[in-house]
Structure 1
Amino acid sequence: MSVTYELVDLTAEEITAAGALLQQQVTDAVQQHLDAAVRTRGYDSMATCVTYAGEASVPRFQAEGRAARAWRSAVWDRCYAVLAEVLAGERASLTPAEMIAELPPLVWPD
Structure 2
Amino acid sequence: MATRSIFNIATGETTTEEYAPAPYTPAMGDYQVAIQAVVDETARSKEFNDGVTLASYVASTVGSWAAQAQAFVAWRDAVWSHCYSELAKVQSGVREQPTVDAFLHELPEIVWP
Task: Specify the TM-score bucket, using the shorter chain as the normaliser.
Answer: 0.7 to 0.9
1:106 CA displacement: 0.7
| Residue 48 of structure 1, aligned match among 41, 49, 53 | 53
Q: Does 1:91 align with 2:90?
A: no
Question: Which protein shows a greater Rg?
Answer: 2
The separation in 1 between residues aligned to 2:105 and 2:74, in whole angstroms, is 18
The separation in 2 between residues aligned to 1:87 and 1:95, in whole angstroms, is 15
Q: Which 5+ residue runs of structure 1 have no aligned equivalent?
A: 6-17
Map 1:1-110 → 2, pairs under 5 A: 22-55=27-60, 57-109=61-113
Higher strand share: 2
1:87 CA displacement: 1.5
The separation in 2 between residues aligned to 1:51 and 1:33, in whole angstroms, is 18
Q: Which 5+ residue runs of structure 2 have no aligned equivalent?
A: 1-17
Question: Any idea what the Cα deviations from partners look like across 1:61-100, whole Å, max 9, x if unmatched?
Answer: 0000000000000000001111111121111111111111
The separation in 2 between residues aligned to 1:99 and 1:37, in whole angstroms, is 17
More relative contact order in 1 or in 2 (CA 8 Å, sep 6+)?
Answer: 1
| TM-score computed with the length of structure 2 as normaliser | 0.75
The separation in 2 between residues aligned to 1:68 and 1:4, in whole angstroms, is 48
1:38 CA displacement: 1.2
**Equivalent residue pairs, number:** 92
Higher helix share: 1
